[in-house]
Amino acid sequence: MDPLFIVGLVVAIALFFDFTNGFHDTANAMATPIATGALRPKVAVGIAALMNLAGAFLSTTVAKTISVDMINPGVNITAQMVFAGLTGAILWNLTTWFLGLPSSSSHALFGGLIGSTMAYFGAEGVNFVKMVEKVFIPALFAPVVAGLVAFTATKVAYIITSRSQAERKAKDISTGRQKFKVGQIFSSSLVALSHGTNDAQKTMGVITLVLVAGGVQTNGDHVQLWVVLSAAIAIALGTYAGGWRIIKTLGTGLSEIKPPQGFAAEVSTGITILASSKFGFALSTTQVASGSVIGVGLGRKGGVVRWGKAGQIFTGWLLTLPAAGLVGAGSAYLTMQGDWGLIVDCILTFAVAAAIFTISRRNKVSSTNLLSEVEGASEVVLSARQIQANAKSQKKAEAKAKQKGKKKGKK
Amino acid sequence: MVNIDWNAFITVFVSAIAFTTLIVACFSLGVRFLTNAQNSAPKARKGNSKAQQAESLNLVGAYLFFAVCLSALGYGIWLIVPFVSH
């Protein structure tokens, strides 16, 4: 098969991957402002799409992590190899999405590409030192940093805006914390911007990698303008298209988040992703947002972690990379069989995508599947109000028992 | 593990915590001052000069902090873009 044809195919599939990434992640930026009532859903989705578009133009450092750092110099990258890695990532991503397992598109992409490279060239093909530095460590480090930062920021916000009970009664004033809703318009835009910066660049990296493999470009140091443009447009369109799913956010675990917490979470997510993008760390934006949501939940008085839920999410995160790697390696073995293997792999990917799409449309109404991983993370922390509600019935029962005891004592 | 640039991680951590705390703290201060101003507003409208002064002082403070907050955000984004910061 003409290598240029495969290059074209990879570009098309990579852009599709970019589109689904936007589709999947609209909620990361916009779920909290919609939940707190800071933005109307339609406006929020429009802003998110525009900000993703803008963010994609900010930098290409993360793209180069894929197109330059990932594979050892001297390895003769082929278009088939990139193709196998990408389809492996998509297959794993769609399956976890369908099963409702917490996963990460970014880690699926890296897993798939690493698996495929190893299948073709063995472990020597992958630059593991760079991968540890730019993918593995950031993957563990960034959500924790975002969580710590969000926790601190929430504490700061509540301390600064606190008013004593006496002051509130004497002057008949509020804390004014509802004003954080206005801030959320900016902070959620920041998250969308950072999402465009980090995630659209991964697509640019893959496209650049395949352009090098196909001989269209001599090395991966430079990302061509049309690549930046198309990746930006694909992620923006995906974000806009994914908006309808956001409306489900109301009344879920995220609705426990108050405006100051939402603001703190979004600023923390946005800044952490932007700072990481600066150094070419290709991290999972979803995991960073999840870390922040857990951090702000704990930052407010009385938040308690449900370790079981946290453990579930964390296991899902750890699983993504190796699992996608196996699928990527599987696709790689298929493509090694020659053209028919490549065609089978292609048909398989499209068939799974089509099947999952039709099934998910049919089940659209069911509320059992989570809107996003961030929503799942928001259920990790029990807020004080939730604990109170749970304990209320118990307290009532206790109070009744006490009253009975007192009455008996008087008699 | 050889040649891992640990400084990059420290920089990310320090800048994330510094920028986020600065932005959130400034916004919170802005919120506090703005709420103060709104509290003095009813008396100020009735012509109480002390309340009028308090209202305008608090408003100035609020806008000052919102401005710091926005510029910190802008500076942060500016640092990311290699095109302009290098």
Q: Where are the domains of chain B?
A: 22-85
Measured distance between the N- and C-terminal CA atoms of chain B, rounded to whole angstroms: 30
User: Are residues A99 and A26 both part of a single domain?
Assistant: yes
Task: Give the model confidence (pLDDT) of A75-112 as tens digits.
Answer: 888 999 999 999 999 888 888 777 766 678 888 999 99
Tokens 């852009």, residue located? A15
Q: Tell if the pTM clears 0.80, that is, is over it.
A: yes
Q: Give residue A43's domain range.
A: 3-379
User: Are residues A366 and A403 both part of a single domain?
Assistant: no
User: Are residues A280 and A360 both part of a single domain?
Assistant: yes
* Contacts for A86 with CB less than 8 Å, ≥ 6 apart: A10, A13, A14, A17, A109, A112, A113, A206
User: Are residues A362 and A391 both part of a single domain?
Assistant: no
Taking the C-alpha atoms of residue A296 and residue A28, their distance in angstroms, rounded to an integer, is 15
Q: Report yes or no: B38 at the A interface, CB cutoff 8 Å.
A: yes
Taking the C-alpha atoms of residue A333 and residue A394, their distance in angstroms, rounded to an integer, is 60
pLDDT category at B34 given cuts 50, 70, 90 is very high
Based on the structure, what is the number of domains in chain A?
Answer: 2
User: Are residues A269 and A394 both part of a single domain?
Assistant: no
User: Are residues A264 and A403 both part of a single domain?
Assistant: no
User: Are residues A342 and A234 both part of a single domain?
Assistant: yes
| Residue A382, strand partner residues | A304
Q: Is residue A380 over pLDDT 80?
A: no
Q: Is residue A158 over pLDDT 90?
A: yes
User: Are residues A18 and A95 both part of a single domain?
Assistant: yes
Q: Average model confidence (pLDDT) for chain A?
A: 84
Is-contact A146 A295, C-beta < 8 A? yes
Interface test with B, best of A195, A267, A300 (most B CBs within 10 A): A267
Phi and psi dihedrals of A304, rounded to 5?
Answer: -130, 135
B10 vs chain A: nearest CA distance in angstroms? 10
Q: Report yes or no: B59 at the A interface, CB cutoff 8 Å.
A: no
- Structural Rg of chain B based on CA atoms: 20
Tell me which chain A residues have a C-beta less than 8 angstroms from the C-beta of B15: 271, 275
